[in-house]
Amino acid sequence: MAHVTGASRYQATLFPEVLDEVVGPDDPVRVIDAFVETLDLAALGFSKVAAEEMGRPPYAPGDLLKLYIYGYLHRIRASRRLEAETHRNVQVMWLLNRLTPAFKTIADFRKDHVEAIVGVCRAFIRFCREQSLFGAELLAIDGTKIAAVASRKQVMTPKRIKKMNAAIDRKIAEYLASMDEADREEPGSAGKPADIAAAIEALKAQKARLQGQAEDLAARGLKQMVMTEREAKLMRTPHGHAVAYNAQTAVDVEHKLIVAFDLTNEGNDYRQLHPMAVQGKAAVGADEVTVVADTGYSNGEHGALCERDGITAIVPRAETVNPNGAQYFSRDRFSYDRESDSWRCPAGATLSLFKTSHTQKKKEYTSRSCGSCALKPQCTEAARRVIVRDFYEDAREAMHRRATDEPVWMKHRRETVEHPFGTMKWLMAHPRFLIKGLKKAKAELAPGVLCYNLKRVISILGVPALLEALEPSTA
């Protein structure tokens, strides 16, 4: 019995005359095409929407946008790989009507339309809202670190500069010692000392550059600077420290759709609760909304701002520990009396207010009884124990009580907000931005958010229903 055989590659064939026959009616590529066709590209900020009468005709921005969305949806982000897809991928041929833009054109499109690409993502979020896909009651907020282009080797800190200067000084000393030795052994030799002198001058120039970097850090009041990507920061990640950005999302619990996103270069989430909650509330169009986040967002001032703006924040605070050691009483062993604005310590003494800092927004309390207290060895090694209370401590405690009174809130948070980040990083293939700078990296994050939402909506509604919803109204 013979094997199954194919047709000869030299045999002339009649490929379908209509390329549309190759793409199935429920292929997601049709959703990409239909969605981009609904956009007002000029209003979003894309250039060359209307071609000039003179000169070489440009590519339509809609076609290049479709190519990028298709690429991100299929884990293809590099411009050279996208160019290759236009030559070999039948779906891309259908999507672009067999256009084959060069990789430079593709790369420049993303670089030149940073804000417009972010606007496209937000346009799809508005579409989801119009389709009533948001519950608009509970949002979960979280952040994740995504690596930047720059390497850790490009991070400069005062400590590293000092270490590098010391290494240069040692190297210069070694060169000088070798020159002295060469003079003693071969007094008439000039070749080797000349080479060493040039090396010393190069080291001195490097030291001058380091000095300039140290002065730049001091003038800006910075603790670190990434030399090749100034807006990126060295951040702590689950896999160690890396040069990265901090991606933020707010996810609606109803269908796990991302309703708001942002990218920052802050290494933690402490100042992200209120801005992300406000963005999420506006995106779902609710008068009041509940947001839940983890301990990294525990910020009393932001909790108060959320309450002012009709947002109920549910955020547990981290376990209170004494930074001086577990052998000392933690802050939880002290009780606060609001009427007298004082604290009572485990020994029964009263800690009264002695200092208020309006710049740091905190109050400090202490007691004169510490010196004679029998429990002092268990409380502090300082002359007196000091308790600090934030101006917005009440709002912070209110967020914490909501989280601890009903632990189901944190279960909702885990089930809602962590999966989208996993999917987005999978779509990125290698979770690292390809272009430098905060604004440009945000333009890379936006297609990831868009494609995650696109996959979710296709799963919820199906391609035929989604295509019907994207059809322009004839009314």
- Amino acid at position 118, single letter: V
Which contiguous run of DSSP H or E holds residue 109?
helix 103-112
Strand-pairing partners, residue 323, are: none
| DSSP collapsed to 3 states, the chain | CCCCCCCCCCCCCCCCCCHHHCCCCCCHHHHHHHHHHCCCHHHHCCCCCCCCCCCCCCCCHHHHHHHHHHHHHCCCCCHHHHHHHHHHCHHHHHHCCCCCCCHHHHHHHHHHCHHHHHHHHHHHHHHHHHCCCCCCCEEEEEEEEEECCCCHHHEECHHHHHHHHHHHHHHHHHHHHHHHHHHHHCCCCCHHHHHHHHHHHHHHHHHHHHHHHHHHHHHHCCCCEECCCCCCEEEEECCEEEEEEEEEEEEECCCCEEEEEEEECCCCCCCCHHHHHHHHHHHHCCCCEEEECCHHHCCHHHHHHHHHCCEEEECCCCCCCCCCCCCCCCHHHCEEECCCCEEECCCCCEEEEEEEECCCCEEEEECHHHHHCCCHHHCCCCCCCCEEEECCHHHHHHHHHHHHHCCHHHHHHHHHHHHHHHHHHHHCCCCECCCCCHHHHHHHHHHHHHHHHHHHHHHHHCHHHHHHHHCCCCC
Going by pLDDT thresholds of 50, 70 and 90, the confidence category of residue 473 is low
User: Which pLDDT tens digit goes with each residue over 375-417?
Assistant: 999 999 899 999 999 999 999 999 999 999 999 999 999 999 9
In 3D space, the residue among 337, 346, 336, 333 whose CA is nearest the CA of residue 373 turns out to be: 346
Tell me the residue length of the chain.
475
Going by pLDDT thresholds of 50, 70 and 90, the confidence category of residue 190 is very low
User: Who has greater pLDDT, 313 or 240?
Assistant: 313
* pLDDT of res. 429: 85
* pLDDT of res. 13: 66
* pLDDT of res. 5: 75
Q: Are 150 and 232 in contact (CB under 8 A)?
A: yes
How far is the C-alpha of 18 from the C-alpha of 89, rounded, in Å? 16
- Mean pLDDT value across residues 192-220: 80
* pLDDT of res. 1: 65
Sign of the alpha-carbon torsion through 219, 223, 225, 231: negative
Q: Is the pLDDT confidence value at 471 over 70?
A: yes
How far is the C-alpha of 206 from the C-alpha of 114, rounded, in Å? 36
Q: List Cα–Cα distances, 123 to 115, 463, 475, in angstroms.
A: 12, 19, 21
Tell me the pTM: 0.87
Q: Is the pLDDT confidence value at 179 over 80?
A: no
- Mean pLDDT value across residues 14-28: 82
Buried residues in 314-325 as b, exposed as e (16+ CB within 10 A): bbbbeeeebeee
- Rg, C-alpha atoms of the chain: 30
Q: Is the pLDDT confidence value at 253 over 70?
A: yes
User: Which pLDDT tens digit goes with each residue over 137-178?
Assistant: 999 999 999 999 998 888 888 888 888 888 888 888 887 777
Q: Is the pLDDT confidence value at 59 over 70?
A: yes
Could you report how far apart the first and last alpha carbons of the chain are, in Å? 63
* pLDDT of res. 475: 46
Eight-state DSSP code of residue 432:
B
* pLDDT of res. 182: 65
Q: Which residue has the tokens 């003693």?
A: 184
* pLDDT of res. 133: 95
User: Who has greater pLDDT, 266 or 10?
Assistant: 266
- Mean pLDDT value across residues 33-54: 90
Provide the mean pLDDT of the chain: 90
- Mean pLDDT value across residues 16-28: 85
Percent of the chain with pLDDT over 70: 95
Let me know if 393 is exposed, middle or buried by CB neighbors in 10 A (0-12, 13-18, 19+): middle
Q: Are 245 and 122 in contact (CB under 8 A)?
A: no
- Amino acid at position 458, single letter: I
